[in-house]
Amino acid sequence: MDILSNLAMGFQIAASPYTLLLAVIGCFVGTIIGALPGLGPSNGVALLIPISFSMGLDAISSLVLLTSVYYGAMYGGRISSILLNIPGDEPAMMTTLDGYPMAKQGRAAEALVVSGVASFVGAFAATIGLMIFAPYLARVAFKFGPAEYFALYMLAFCTLGGIGSSNQAKSALAAAIGLAIAMIGLDKTTGMPRFTFGELHLMDGVDFLVAIVGLFAVAEVFFFIETHGRDSAIGVKLGKIRVPWKMLRQTSGAMMRGTGIGFVSGVLPGAGASLGSFLAYMAEKSLARDKDSFGSGNPKGVAAPEAGNNAAAGGALVPMLTLGVPGSGTTAVLLALLLTLNITPGPLLFTERPEVVWSLIAALLIANIVLLLMNVPMVRIFVHILSVPAWILLPGVTMVAFVGIYSLTGSSFDMLMMVGFGALGYVMRKLSIPTVPAILGILLGNAMEDNLRRAMVLSDGDWAFLFSSPIAVGLWIAAILGFVAPIFLRGLLKKPALPDDDPTTIED
Amino acid sequence: MIRGDRIFGTVMIVIALGYILSAYGIETSFMSDPVGPRVFPYLIALVMIVCSLVMVLRPDPEADWPAAPMLLQLGIAFAVLVAYAYAITPLGFILPTAIASGVLCWQIAGKPLRAAITGAGLGVGLWVLFRLILGLGLRGLPAGWGF
């Protein structure tokens, strides 16, 4: 009953006309961001955080707007996957496998409707899962002391890097780079400057929004110039949108299974939406009698990964809200949002700021319904927007990144740092060094050091204290497994190659 | 010849050594705890050195680096963004945005007229969107010119 009364409180806050309007705008903008090739949810949310702050929105309004953008981008990723064979973001990659062949067979509209409904099923069920499981996890998290939190941060770095990269050394290096950057600024305990080199701008440390927008959005600009830069406008045609009821019935099982798999992958720290969509697709393929039809336009191959990736997006919010440990790149960006709003995620969030948690959950439920309405009957609008040529899109995105940071900090130094982070992000991605552990390092570095130092004060400098409780030992073991296991499992988890057709115009 | 990983690894080792040196110089105060402000940075630098050594000794296959003309393009884009960061405060939003987005557009589309129109459109359009509609504090023109 607690859940229902809390949810009612959440709806009271989130269902005001103003927040509803923000949710609709967020869903619309998010879907566009997700649909545009190269701009994923993490880039999109990173770009918009500084702008939402500059607009002076309060904490709940910013959260509603940006989580709507997040969910919207997760929905939108499928549109360019199906129509252009270019995933809008990595989790949408699996949707290209059957979605694009369906579009080539003239069934683009059906693929879009099925994937839209699957996205809704996955995201809605995951939000309900979040509502049920997060308070339980928050209660467990009350038992956490500094040693457990330190081990938990290690777990986050190990699994996020372990699964997200093909080279453990590179992901650990990325995490270390992030942590090293987090150390810049005044030391909280002693008040002494560290790594500031006498530069006044660095006394407050490196603003993580500057780092995130640089590493994600500005780095993307350099990639865009290199890869998509020469693409011209792509004409897209779409048939009449009808709801294919029979196909929806046939794929309902795939959607449910995809949702379950996706949610679990999302909750596991580090696994995230890419793994959710991948596992959902592979499970559906292995269950199917007609395995050969997967990859050549089977609607179940569209429904399962879409339900999976959207459910994972909701699942990833569970560890982010209850433990302050993000389960994916985009939740890392949302964590930055919460920290900037002076909301510290963790078990106390549920007891001290219940209005924030429950209005967020209510907003997510509302956003899902808005997104279903936008993404099924109104999908044609987004398809038109997809034909924005790269020569307008790229300069536009770049300037939006600058506007956000400039209007927030007003400092040329921060913008220069942002460009520097953009160049670093470009080089890192070229060398297959994942950027998400670096972001996580910047976000969690100070909390991680704080917990280490508090643990050492409590134990009078005894390092064995870090392994002194069963929870801490369990987390350390999980961390080591999370770091080492992918080395052995990589062969098993090998992703199937994308179909190598060139993106072409889809005829009715 | 595999170079990318080795160069990056070597650079990171040098940075990590510098980091250790800089951490060594951090002043500790009388309030210091058992760990102090230096130990965690030392640990980070140690992880950096170990991982960088792995990159140097066991590099992955060479990344697909862009050829010289594309590197020049990326260099131009970088320079334009750096210049933009310096220009926006004294010159206001519209002019630097029009020039920077025009240059980026020209890099992609290669047509000067189209680039000029896109640049001007984005400069004015984004200013209208962010200043007039969303109400962000952006000055449109150089100080003393109005807006």
Residue pLDDT, tens place only, A247-264: 888 888 899 999 999 998
Mean pLDDT (chain A, rounded): 84
* Per-residue pLDDT of chain B in tens (147 residues, 90 and over written 9): 568 899 999 999 999 999 999 999 888 776 667 888 889 999 999 999 999 999 999 988 888 888 888 889 899 999 999 999 999 988 989 999 999 999 999 888 778 999 999 999 999 999 998 888 887 878 888 877 766
pLDDT of the residue at A324: 84
Q: What is the mean pLDDT of residues A350-363?
A: 87
CA dist A434 and A432 (Å) reads 6
Q: Is residue A85 part of a domain?
A: yes
Return the HEC string of A467-502: HCCHHHHHHHHHHHHHHHHHHHHCCCCCCCCCCCCC
Task: Compute the CA torsion angle A223, A227, A229, A235 (nearest 10 deg).
Answer: -130
How many alpha carbons lie under 13 Å from residue B31 in its C-beta half-sphere? 8
pLDDT of the residue at B32: 66
Tokens of A388: 């924005």
The CA–CA distances, whole Å, from A176 to A179, A227, A339, B51 equal 5, 29, 21, 9
For residue A293, the enclosing domain spans: 1-230+237-490
Q: What is the DSSP string of A402-443?
A: HHHHHHHH--HHHHHHHHHHHHHHHHHHHTT--SHHHHHHHH
Residue A466: pLDDT band (50, 70, 90) is: very high
Q: Is residue B138 part of a domain?
A: no
Q: Is residue B146 part of a domain?
A: no
Pairwise CB contact (< 8 Å): B33 & A449: no
Q: Is residue B139 part of a domain?
A: no
Q: Is residue A504 part of a domain?
A: no
Domain termination residue (choose one: B12, B35, B57): B57
- Could you give the angle at which helices A390-409 and A412-430 cross, rounded to 10 degrees? 130
Tokens of A78: 């499928």
Residues 183-202 of A with CB under 8 A from B: 183, 187, 189-195, 197
Q: Is residue A375 part of a domain?
A: yes
Q: How many beta-carbon pairs below 8 A join chains A and B?
A: 196
pLDDT of the residue at A497: 46
Alpha-carbon distance B82 to nearest alpha carbon in chain A (angstroms): 6
For residue B107, the enclosing domain spans: 68-133
Domain tally for chain B?
A: 2
Residues B46 and B83 in one domain: no
CA dist A238 and A240 (Å) reads 7
Residues B97 and B121 in one domain: yes
pLDDT of the residue at B121: 94
Pairwise CB contact (< 8 Å): B52 & A402: no
Residue from the list A389, A398, A412 with its beta carbon closest to the beta carbon of B104? A398
> Are A58 and A329 a contacting pair, CB within 8 Å?
no
Q: What single-letter amino acid sits at B50?
A: V
Assess whether pLDDT exceeds 50 at residue A505.
Answer: no
> Are A354 and A166 a contacting pair, CB within 8 Å?
no
Residue from the list A170, A390, A449 with its beta carbon closest to the beta carbon of B40? A449
Burial label, B67 (beta-carbon count in 10 A; 0-12, 13-18, 19+): exposed
Across A197-208, b (16+ Cβ under 10 Å) vs e yields eeeebbeebbbb
Cβ neighbours around A102 below 10 Å, total:
24
Q: Is residue A205 part of a domain?
A: yes
* pLDDT per residue as tens digits for the range A397-421: 889 888 888 888 888 899 999 999 9
Contacts for A94 with CB less than 8 Å, ≥ 6 apart: A277, A278, A280, A281, A301, A305, A308, A309
ipTM over 0.90: yes
Domain tally for chain A?
A: 1
Residue A501: pLDDT band (50, 70, 90) is: very low
Contacts for B138 with CB less than 8 Å, ≥ 6 apart: A403, A406, A407, B92, B93, B127, B130, B131
Residues B53 and B73 in one domain: no
